[in-house]
Amino acid sequence: MKTHDVIVVGAGSSGSPLAARLSEERDCSVLLLEAGPDSSSKTLPNDLSGALPGSPLAWTYRADLGDGRRYEVARGRVLGGSSAVNGGLFLRARPADFDAWAAACGDDGWSYETALPILRELETDLDFGASELHGADGPMPVARAGQAHAASRAFAAAARELGHVDEPDKNAGSRAGVGPLPRNIIAGERRSTAHQYLDPARSRRNLEIRTGTVVDAITTRGGAATGVEVGGEHLAAGQVVLCGGAVETPRLLQASGIGAADTLASAGITPLVDLPGVGQGSSDHPNLMLGWLMLGQTGRGDDARGESFTSALHLEASRGDELELLLSLRPLAALFGGTGLPGERLFVASAGVTDARGRVTIDGPGARPLLAYRYLATDRDRHRMREVVRAAAALAATDAMSDVFGGFVDLDAPTLEDDTALDAWVRRHLSTALHLSGTARMGRDHDPDAVVDASGRVRGIDRLRVADTSILPTAPTRGTAATAIFIGELLADRLQAGY
Please give the Cα distance from 193 to 260 (Å, whole number): 33
Please give the Cα distance from 237 to 91 (Å, whole number): 34
Element (H, E) at 115: helix 112-121
Instruction: Say if residue 215 carries a ligand binding annotation.
Output: yes
What DSSP character marks residue 79? T
- Among residues 279, 336, 80, the alpha carbon closest in space to that of 198 is found at 80
In sequence order, the 6+-apart residues with CB closer than 8 A to the CB of 498 are none
Lateral strand order in the sheet of 140-144? 123-125, 140-144, 182-183
Please give the Cα distance from 360 to 371 (Å, whole number): 5
Q: Is 149 a catalytic residue?
A: no
Q: What ranges in 182-323 are assigned the alpha helix state H?
A: 193, 245-255, 261-266
CA 360 to chain centre: 16
- Among residues 36, 39, 10, the alpha carbon closest in space to that of 199 is found at 39
Please give the Cα distance from 169 to 181 (Å, whole number): 8
The amino acid occupying position 83 is: S
What DSSP character marks residue 94? P
Instruction: For the chain, count helices (H), then strands (E).
Output: 12, 26
| CA-to-CA dists, residue 133 to 136, 191, 390, angstroms | 10, 21, 34
Strands annotated E in 307-364:
309-316, 322-328, 344-351, 358-361
Please give the Cα distance from 63 to 244 (Å, whole number): 18
Residue 354 gets the label, from left (phi > 0), alpha (psi -120 to 50) or beta, of beta
The gap between the terminal CA atoms of the chain, to the nearest Å, is 27
Q: What are phi and psi of 57, to 5 degrees?
A: -100, 10
Please give the Cα distance from 223 to 461 (Å, whole number): 5
- Give SS3 for 102: helix
Please give the Cα distance from 299 to 13 (Å, whole number): 32
Q: Which of 4, 149, 435, 446 is catalytic?
A: 435
**Which residues are part of a known binding site?**
78, 215
Q: Which residues are catalytic?
A: 435
**Which residues are part of a known binding site for FAD?**
78, 215
